[in-house]
Amino acid sequence: MFREAVARGGLAVVTGAASGLGRVSALRFAEAGLGVVLADLPGDALNTVEQEVRSAANEGATVLAVPTDVTDAQAVAELADRAFAAGEVAVLMNNAGIGLPTGSWEQAENWRRVIEVNLFGVMNGVHAFMPRMVAADRPAVVVNTGSKQGITTPPGNPGYNVSKAGVKVLTEALAHDLREAGAPISVHLFVPGFAYTGMIAAFIPEKPPSAWTSEQTVDHFIGRMSEGDFYILCPDNDVTPERDRRRVEWALGDIIENRPALSRWHPDYADAFARHEKMR
Ligand SMILES: NC(=O)c1ccc[n+]([C@@H]2O[C@H](COP(=O)([O-])OP(=O)(O)OC[C@H]3O[C@@H](n4cnc5c(N)ncnc54)[C@H](O)[C@@H]3O)[C@@H](O)[C@H]2O)c1
């Protein structure tokens, strides 16, 4: 549906647009000929990206920066009002996200904050935009940014994993419900690999060889979205698509084979997992 949505024209609304994957996505949507509504926390970064996107956009195209905290449902409803007042919505990309450390029995405040931004931020976007996008009855796409950590749920940051597992489930339900409703809107779960963005640069000053750039990641995602994929797992310089498939298979296998939770990281299963990952 992405090609049809672009052909019809209109706006791309991107949250978390002031940095990283959101910024590059906004630039790509502008280059494709769409108007762009950029939503992020207020600040210089958002203003700078507004200028960049304006330079990339067609002459006369709408480019709006709307300072928005995605955890504030009222602010997201106002973002939707601004967008629909400016034009038809062709793309809604709920992408804003944060990473904060969490432990299984620690850092409750970080748990709440991460889930507020990463999960309820996406829900706020869906709730604010869907009724009018469905009523518009025009080709459109919704993209929610998840994470491999919401699919294979590795140890280390359970709060972040929960938030992204929630995004996966919400996005699957949305795709089903729009299909049932007969709406001409396709839904896509964007699952970046390791991408060197603002979130990562805060901890690692230089791009590690294993990471992809934001540009590589977004170009892969838009390519797969153009082909209609729902699950868009992006590779990076360490993890190939085949490796991702093996890891997802193993994670589901924990349930099917009645193995212990997160057996991929259980010493008794280390050899079996290593064999599984290398199979084929
Ligand atoms: N970089 C990676 O390797 C990676 C991997 C998997 C998933 N992701 C996901 O990709 C998405 C984009 O992240 P990124 O890597 O480009 O990081 P980034 O930090 O460069 O960009 C995230 C943007 O979201 C904004 N944001 C944070 N809280 C917000 C709020 N409450 N309201 C509005 N905007 C808010 C930030 O200001 C920032 O501009 C996130 O959802 C992240 O979880 C990233």
How confident is the model over 76-133, as pLDDT tens digits? 999 999 999 999 999 999 999 999 999 999 999 999 999 999 999 999 999 999 999 9
**Which residues are within 8 A (CB) of 54 and not within 5 positions of it... i.e. 6 or more apart?**
63
First-to-last alpha carbon distance for the chain, in angstroms, is 33
pLDDT tens digits for range 135-164: 999 999 999 999 999 999 999 999 999 999
pTM equals: 0.97
Q: Are residues 42 and 144 in the same domain?
A: yes
Average pLDDT of span 168-197: 97
The encoded tokens of residue 247 equal 């890891």
pLDDT tens digits for range 208-243: 999 999 999 999 999 999 999 999 999 999 999 999
Q: Are residues 158 and 79 in the same domain?
A: yes
Nearest ligand 1 atom, CA 214: 16
In angstroms, what is the span from residue 238 Cα to ligand 1's centroid?
21
Residue 269 among the catalytic residues: no
Q: Are residues 65 and 122 in the same domain?
A: yes
The count of structural domains within the chain is 2
The predicted structure's pLDDT at residue 209 = 94
Q: Are residues 127 and 97 in the same domain?
A: yes
In angstroms, what is the span from residue 96 Cα to ligand 1's centroid?
5
Q: Are residues 217 and 271 in the same domain?
A: no
Q: Are residues 44 and 55 in the same domain?
A: yes
The predicted structure's pLDDT at residue 199 = 85
Measured in residues, the chain has a length of: 280
Identify the H or E element spanning 67: strand 63-67
Going by pLDDT thresholds of 50, 70 and 90, the confidence category of residue 280 is: low
The predicted structure's pLDDT at residue 63 = 98
Residue 134 has pLDDT above 60, yes or no: yes
Average pLDDT of span 250-278: 96
CA distance 20 to 131: 29
The predicted structure's pLDDT at residue 108 = 98
Q: Are residues 116 and 39 in the same domain?
A: yes
Mean of pLDDT over the chain: 97
Pocket residues for ligand 1 (CB within 6 Å)?
Answer: 15-16, 18-22, 40-41, 68-71, 95-98, 117, 121, 145, 147, 192, 194-195, 197-200
Of the candidates 160, 196, 231, 269, the residue annotated as catalytic is 160
On whether the CB atoms of residues 148 and 193 are closer than 8 A, the answer is yes
Nearest ligand 1 atom, CA 69: 32
CATH number for the domain that contains residue 230: 3.40.50.720
Residue nearest to atom 41 of ligand 1 (CA): 97
The predicted structure's pLDDT at residue 203 = 86
CA distance 153 to 131: 32
Give bridge partners of residue 64 from the DSSP assignment. Answer: 37
Full residue range of the structural domain in which residue 35 is found: 2-237
Average pLDDT of span 46-55: 97
In angstroms, what is the span from residue 199 Cα to ligand 1's centroid?
6
Average pLDDT of span 48-69: 97
Q: Are residues 143 and 108 in the same domain?
A: yes
Residue nearest to atom 30 of ligand 1 (CA): 69
Q: Are residues 252 and 131 in the same domain?
A: no
Residue 62 identity: T
Going by pLDDT thresholds of 50, 70 and 90, the confidence category of residue 202 is: confident
Going by pLDDT thresholds of 50, 70 and 90, the confidence category of residue 279 is: confident
* 39 φ/ψ angles, rounded to the nearest 5 degrees: -120, 130
